[in-house]
Amino acid sequence: MVLGVFSGVSMLFLPRWLRYVLLYAALLTFFVPGYIYASAWIDLVSLVPGVDTTQLFSIPGAIIVLSLIHFPVTTCATYTACMHIEQEKLEVARMEGSVVALYRHVVLPHATPFVATGGLIVFLLNLGTYTIPSFFQVNTYSIEIFTLYNAFHNPASGLQLALPLMGCALGAILLWWVVIGRQLSQTSYHSPKVVLLKSGALSRGVIILLMGILFLFSIGLPLIMVVLGEVSFTYIGTVWEQSQHEWLSSLSLAFGTTLGIVLISSIGTYCLDGWPRSISFGIVLLLCIPFLISGPAWGIGVIQFWNHAGWRGTIYDQAIIVFMTCVGKYLFVAWIGLTFALRSIRKEYDDAARVFGVSRLRQYWSIILPLTLPYSLVLGVVIFLMVLGDVDSVLLVSPPGYTTIPVRVYNLMHYGSSAMVSSMALLMVMVVGGVLATVSVLIACLTRGRRQMEDS
Q: Of 201, 228, 255, which residue sits at a domain end?
A: 228
Residue with the larger pLDDT of the pair 361 and 436: 436
Predicted confidence (pLDDT) per residue in 114-167, tens digit = 788 888 888 888 887 888 888 788 888 788 887 777 777 777 777 777 788 788
Mean pLDDT of the residues in the chain: 77
Q: What is the mean pLDDT of residues 209-228?
A: 80
Domain end marker among 228, 261, 289:
228
| 156 and 292 share one domain | no
Whole-number pLDDT of residue 4: 79
Distance, CA of 46 to CA of 52 (rounded, Å): 7
pLDDT one-digit tens code per residue, 271-312: 887 777 777 778 888 888 888 777 888 888 888 888 888 888
Please, which residues have CB within 8 angstroms of residue 415's CB and are 6 or more apart in sequence? none
Residues 196 and 253 in one domain: no
Same domain, 219 and 344: no
Residues 23 and 49 in one domain: yes
Lowest mean pLDDT among 131-135, 188-192, 413-417: 188-192
Residue 70 sits in which domain range? 1-228
Whether residue 277 is found in the same domain as residue 140: no
pLDDT for res 323: 92
Q: Which CATH number characterizes residue 161's domain?
A: 1.10.3720.10
Tens digit of each residue's pLDDT (9 = 90 or more) over 72-104: 888 888 877 777 666 566 666 556 555 566 666
Q: Would you state the pLDDT for residue 261?
A: 92
Task: HSE, CB side, 13 Å, CA atoms: give it for residue 317.
Answer: 7
Domain boundary among 228, 249, 266: 228
The letter for the amino acid at 331 is L
Enter the DSSP assignment of 179. Answer: I
Residues 287 and 255 in one domain: yes
pLDDT at 192: 47
Query: Which pLDDT tens digit goes with each residue over 13-55?
Result: 777 778 788 888 888 888 877 777 777 787 777 777 777 777 7
Query: What single letter denotes the amino acid at residue 31?
Result: F
For residues 302 and 389, state if they share a domain.
Answer: yes
Least Cα distance to 431 among 394, 384, 392, 398 occurs for 384
Q: What is the largest CA-CA distance in the chain?
A: 76
| Distance (Å, whole) CA 89 – CA 107 | 10
In which band, very low, low, confident or very high, does the pLDDT at 451 lie, cut at 50, 70 and 90? low
- Residues across the chain: 456
Confidence band of 190 (pLDDT split at 50, 70, 90): very low
- Do 194 and 244 share a structural domain? no
pTM of the model: 0.79
Residue 129 CA, chain-centre distance (Å), reads 13
CA distance 153 to 146: 10
Rounded CA separation 264/281 (Å): 17
Q: Judge contact between 399 and 303, C-beta under 8 A.
A: no
Task: Name the residue with higher pLDDT: 192 or 202.
Answer: 202
Give buried/exposed letters for 92-131 (b at 16+ CB in 10 A, else e).
ebbeeeebeebbeebbeebbbbbbbbbbbbbbbbbbbbbb
**Same domain flag for 362 and 257:** yes
The answer to whether residues 247 and 335 belong to one domain is yes
CA 363 remoteness from chain centre = 31
Pick from 123, 165, 121, 174: nearest CA to 143: 165
Which of residues 323 and 353 earns the better pLDDT score?
Answer: 323
| Total domains present in the chain | 2
- Of all residues in the chain, the percent with pLDDT exceeding 90 is 2
Give me the pLDDT at residue 259, please. Answer: 92
Q: How many CA atoms, within 13 angstroms, populate the side-chain half-sphere of residue 117? A: 19
Return the H-helix or E-strand segment holding 184.
Answer: helix 182-186
Same domain, 261 and 191: no
Handedness of CA 181, 187, 191, 196 (dihedral sign): negative
pLDDT above 50 for 360:
yes
Is the pLDDT at 187 greater than 70, yes or no? no
Q: Residue 301: in which H helix or E strand, if any? A: helix 295-306
In the predicted structure, residue 364 carries a pLDDT above the cut 50: yes
Same domain, 202 and 239: no
